């Protein structure tokens, strides 16, 4: 079993119940992640395939009773939200079993629960001071900036991998064209040489 809390898989943790990770999904393989969650907790899942094949995977989410909460096939990216109805281990699985030779790189953002209030008095029915309002405003803007940076980072990684793949294909194509050019050139030289050899033989025979 692969737990979302394992440090070996986590890139960084934004809040206590939030995990972001990027992992390799080999061809003909399936990987699942597990998290023990209380009842009545909101979970949010975002994923995106950033490299490999047609940039698509199958994704499944099940509850502790093995009921399917989310099930989509060959998706490049998607989001899913759900409020848990029972306590237990929830499972998030990604499958690349439909691919016979292409492995994928998948980004996963898993969030469970509500974010801890920035200020202790936010839950109370009291007016916020100007300083507190400014802090909350800056906090919300920083969250938007963080989400934007994550989106741009994923786009950069995806575009970079596509560019590297295109560069590799162009390099192989250029090498192939060079080899074909050498083969054709040598064949033409040998063919012309054979023409002159035949002519010289005929002249010698006639004399």
Q: At 24, phi and psi to the nearest 5?
A: -90, 135
Q: What pLDDT, on a 0 to 100 scale, did the predictor assign at position 127?
A: 62
Does domain 2-116 fall into CATH 3.30.70.20?
no
Which pTM was predicted? 0.63
Residue 64 has pLDDT above 70, yes or no: yes
If one compares 201 and 61, the residue with the highest pLDDT of the two is 61
- pLDDT per residue over 113-143, tens digit each? 776 666 555 555 556 677 777 777 887 788 7
The structure tokens 């040598």 sit at 186
Mean pLDDT, to the nearest integer, of 10-37?
74
Residue 30 has pLDDT above 80, yes or no: yes
**Domains of the chain by residue range:** 2-116, 122-207
For residue 27, list its beta bridge partners: none
State the Cα–Cα distance between residues 35 and 171, nearest whole angstrom: 45
Q: What pLDDT, on a 0 to 100 scale, did the predictor assign at position 70?
A: 93
Average pLDDT, the chain: 79
- pLDDT per residue over 152-177, tens digit each? 777 777 777 778 878 888 998 999 99
195: which 2 tokens? 């023409």
């Amino acid at each position: 079993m692969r737990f979302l809390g394992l440090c070996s898989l986590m890139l960084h943790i934004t809040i206590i119940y939030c995990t972001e990770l990027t992992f390799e999904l080999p061809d003909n393989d399936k990987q699942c992640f597990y998290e023990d969650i209380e009842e009545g907790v909101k979970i949010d899942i975002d994923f995106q395939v950033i490299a490999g094949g047609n940039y698509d995977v199958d994704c499944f989410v099940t509850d502790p009773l093995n009921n399917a909460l989310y099930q989509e096939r060959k998706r490049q990216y998607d989001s899913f939200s759900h409020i848990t109805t029972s306590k237990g281990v929830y499972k998030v699985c990604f499958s690349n079993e439909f691919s016979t030779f292409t492995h994928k790189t998948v980004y996963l953002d898993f969030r469970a629960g509500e974010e801890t209030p920035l200020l202790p008095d936010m839950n109370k029915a009291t007016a916020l001071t100007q300083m507190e309002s400014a802090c909350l405003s800056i906090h919300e803007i920083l969250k938007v900036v963080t989400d934007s940076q994550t989106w741009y980072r994923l786009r950069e990684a995806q575009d970079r991998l596509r560019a590297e793949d295109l560069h590799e294909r162009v390099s192989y194509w250029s090498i192939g064209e060079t080899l074909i050019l050498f083969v054709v050139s040598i064949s033409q030289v040998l063919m012309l040489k054979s023409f002159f050899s035949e002519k010289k033989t005929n002249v010698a025979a006639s004399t």
